[in-house]
Amino acid sequence: MHRKALTAAVAVAAISVLAIAPSVASAWAPASTATIHPGVQVFTNGAQCTANFVYQDASNVYLGQAAHCSGTGAATDTNGCNSASLPIGTPVDVTGASRPGTLVYNSWLTMQSKGETDADTCAFNDLALIKLDPADVGNVNPSVPGLGGPTGVGAWGGAGSTVYTYGNSELRGGVTALSPKQGVVVQGTPSGWSHDVYTATPGVPGDSGSGFMNATGGAIGILSTVQLAPLAGSNGVGNVGQELAYMRANGSGFSGVNLVAGTEPFTANVVSAALKGLGL
């Protein structure tokens, strides 16, 4: 979770000079050597977050982050319909990339331009896309480190269902064995826009934007907040399926953007994932 936005509820294919997004799994960089993937650190105007998943359309490859990662207001400004944000076109430094990416979609800015008024949508629609420079697309793999997947966009389960995530806050000091986490759903909003989850260890500042998967590896959410009350230590996770649907319907030029499935099989073995983080 992005330190400025904690809240109290908190392979390139070349044709002439054109670069297009890979269309098959074999076109992506090998997971073992890819420098850009879900879970890398991203820095927007110096603020660090964690990338969730890889997305693409016919021409471009994107990394997802939380919309609030580019917020410019106070820590308590988390309502996307009235909170300030850096503009589209803002450069974003992506760990593992040779050139900065570009902020090209932000749900907060989109909701404000649309005049969105639905309370849950305003509170929990927290997705932004970073367009990667074509020079870096050949270094991308869409698999989540250690855990594998995602297997596509998945569905949330009810209270007690298991979730998996990969955080990469600077606060962990680069100890990647601490990044893969397992958790449980506590409750969700009736609208489906957000779910409260507990994970071991909990998400911390810098994990904001990280992706969540269900028990079969389906991509289900994006870390948005750290809850202090009433469920202290839990995390608020937005529904990535609904966030993508909103983007396609309301974001100009993004109707063809899809989440990319990982090339590595999903594993629910967090211990194994942690050992991989240690190089074992």
Does any domain span residue 248? Answer: yes
Does residue 246 share a domain with residue 231? no
Tell me the pLDDT band of 230, cut-offs 50, 70 and 90. Answer: low
Does residue 174 share a domain with residue 119? no
Does any domain span residue 147? Answer: no
| C-beta of residue 265 within 8 angstroms of C-beta of residue 148 | yes
Does residue 134 share a domain with residue 83? yes
pLDDT at residue 207 in the model: 85
Does any domain span residue 210? Answer: yes
Mean pLDDT of all residues in 170-176: 64
Residue 7 has pLDDT above 60, yes or no: no
pLDDT at residue 172 in the model: 62
pLDDT in tens, 30-73: 999 999 999 999 999 999 999 999 999 999 999 999 999 999 98
Q: Give the count of beta carbons closer than 10 Å to the beta carbon of residue 196.
A: 19
State the DSSP string of 150-182: --SB-----TT-EEEEE---GGGTT-GGGSEEE
CB-based burial label for 168 (10 Å; 0-12, 13-18, 19+): buried
Q: Give the count of beta carbons closer than 10 Å to the beta carbon of residue 89.
A: 8
Does residue 54 share a domain with residue 118? yes
Does residue 186 share a domain with residue 76? no
Q: In CATH, what number is assigned to the domain containing residue 166? A: 2.40.10.10
17: Cβ contacts below 8 Å, ≥ 6 apart: none
Residue 280 has pLDDT above 80, yes or no: no
pLDDT at residue 272 in the model: 67
Tell me the pLDDT band of 168, cut-offs 50, 70 and 90. Answer: confident
Does any domain span residue 154? Answer: no
Does residue 247 share a domain with residue 222? no
pLDDT at residue 277 in the model: 52
Does residue 122 share a domain with residue 53? yes
Does residue 268 share a domain with residue 187? yes
Q: Give the count of beta carbons closer than 10 Å to the beta carbon of residue 2.
A: 27
Does any domain span residue 3? Answer: no
pLDDT in tens, 253-272: 999 999 999 999 999 877 56
Does residue 249 share a domain with residue 192? no
* Domains: count for the chain: 2
pLDDT at residue 234 in the model: 80
Tell me the pLDDT band of 77, cut-offs 50, 70 and 90. Answer: confident
Does residue 253 share a domain with residue 209? no
Angle at alpha carbon of residue 92, lines to 254 and 76, rounded to 5°: 90
Does residue 120 share a domain with residue 95? yes
Mean pLDDT of all residues in 214-233: 81
Does any domain span residue 6? Answer: no
pLDDT at residue 12 in the model: 30
DSSP state of 95: T
Does any domain span residue 30? Answer: yes
Measured torsion, CA atoms of residues 39, 40, 42, 46, in degrees rounded to the nearest 10: 110
Does any domain span residue 182? Answer: yes
Does residue 123 share a domain with residue 62? yes
Domain span holding position 225: 162-239+264-277
pLDDT in tens, 112-167: 999 999 999 999 999 999 999 999 999 999 999 999 999 999 999 999 999 999 98
Mean pLDDT of all residues in 164-179: 74
